[in-house]
Amino acid sequence: MFELSKRLKQLPPYLFVEIDKAKREARKQGRDIIDLGVGDPDQPTPRHIISSLNTAALDPANHRYALDQGMPVLRQAIARWYKKRFNVILDPESEILPLIGSKEGLAHFPLAFLNNGDYSLIPDPCYPPYKGGTIIAGAKPFLMPLLKNNDFLPDLKKIPLSARKKAKLIYINYPNNPTSAVAGEDFYRQVLGFARKNKAIVVSDLAYSELAYDGYKPKSFLETGGAKDVAIEFHSLSKTYNMTGWRIGWACGNSRLVSALAKVKSNLDSGIFQAIQAAGVSALETPAEEAEGICGLYQQRRDVLVPGLKSLGFEFEVPKATFYLWIRTPHKTSSVDFSKTILDRADIVVTPGVGFGKYGEGYIRMALTVPEERIVEALSRLKKVI
């Protein structure tokens, strides 16, 4: 009875069942769990953003259906922010689409362009919705391994001709979740050339552009000359302003790509609560010092966790951006086994790399989303069990 659709059956299995069960069990037993597993900021949303929500929520004009294409004030604020931050000019009317968080946009986008038998070129390991959205659209993920020997960038030369022919989309995500790798102009130019030659659309996920350290400023793919001919970029307020629960982000770039996504969404949702959009405008107007403060906190934590883990012999690159550390499992243990071991022995939760794709095997991901004293505590526990 109630046979699942073929597309649902094709979605990758959920790999954390065992770890989740062990975590719940540990909590039930009253063990003091340190959760370095979740990529969700622990700090509150800045006050001025909450105040804007409060004010806007009291205005009955905001209680009705929102415009599908988002409020003009929000689209204009996004355009100003992109100009200021990346010197990229976007037309608020045709090149920007607010989203209910960037995840839904990233996952819905394939519905606009993929048919059965088409491919999406997808980095592996990756943020899971790239694969999920592709499969739900009836198309196929073609994996581009992210390996340490290529600085966790996909090696475009290795994509076979047969896959290039079927590829309609290529997903890129720098600064990268889960590997914390960053990409430079050179890589972006290669991707642009590849997309032009193979008539593929570039889907750039820029969720972590504002979480970068030591003065490093990540670039937008749209800064690459001519990128707007082939690209749509997804951005989010979630990580930058501690707003994961609010559900607000946007897509921007090529107007044909943006309007196609808008058409898909007009059939699926009815816009973002306007009070949240008003709060989004305030978020984008956050003074630079305050945004730097949010990022600085992760940098402080990184600077405690990195030397601590190094002294325990762990192997990883020091992240220049994102709030993740992508760490080799010791002694070639599997990522799930190692994660289970440190949960059992040290009450520390980490994410097994294989959860992000098969090329994530041999790694675990730790997130800098717990206070410094908990990081210190986690290190002292690890020292006892490693």
Ligand X SMILES: *Cc1c(COP(=O)(O)O)cnc(C)c1O
Q: Which residues bind ligand X (CB under 6 A)?
A: 39, 101-103, 127, 173, 177, 205, 207, 236, 238-239, 244, 249
Phi, psi of 170 (to 5 degrees): -130, 120
Using omega within 30 degrees of 0 as the cis cutoff, is the peptide bond preceding 123 cis?
no
CB of 371 to ligand X, least distance (A): 20
Residue with tokens 């050339």: 193
Which residue in the shown chain puts its C-beta closest to ligand X?
101
Rounded CA separation 300/348 (Å): 20
* Nearest to ligand X of 92, 175 (CB atom): 175
CB of 239 to ligand X, least distance (A): 6
* Nearest to ligand X of 133, 249 (CB atom): 249
- 361 neighbors 178 (Cβ within 8 angstroms): no
Residue with tokens 């030659």: 197
* Nearest to ligand X of 201, 367 (CB atom): 367
* Nearest to ligand X of 246, 314 (CB atom): 246
What are the DSSP calls for 193-241, one per residue? HHHHHHT-EEEEE-TTTT-B-TT--PPPGGGSTTGGGTEEEEEESTTTT
* Nearest to ligand X of 46, 249 (CB atom): 249
CB of 39 to ligand X, least distance (A): 5
- C-alpha dihedral (319, 325, 331, 337), degrees to nearest 10: -160
CB of 313 to ligand X, least distance (A): 28
Nearest to 95 by CA among 250, 265, 201, 277: 250
Rounded CA separation 49/282 (Å): 6
Nearest to 15 by CA among 300, 361, 272, 296: 361
CB of 363 to ligand X, least distance (A): 16
* Nearest to ligand X of 106, 346 (CB atom): 106
CB of 42 to ligand X, least distance (A): 14
| DSSP tally for the chain: helices H, then strands E | 13, 12
* Nearest to ligand X of 103, 140 (CB atom): 103
CB of 77 to ligand X, least distance (A): 16
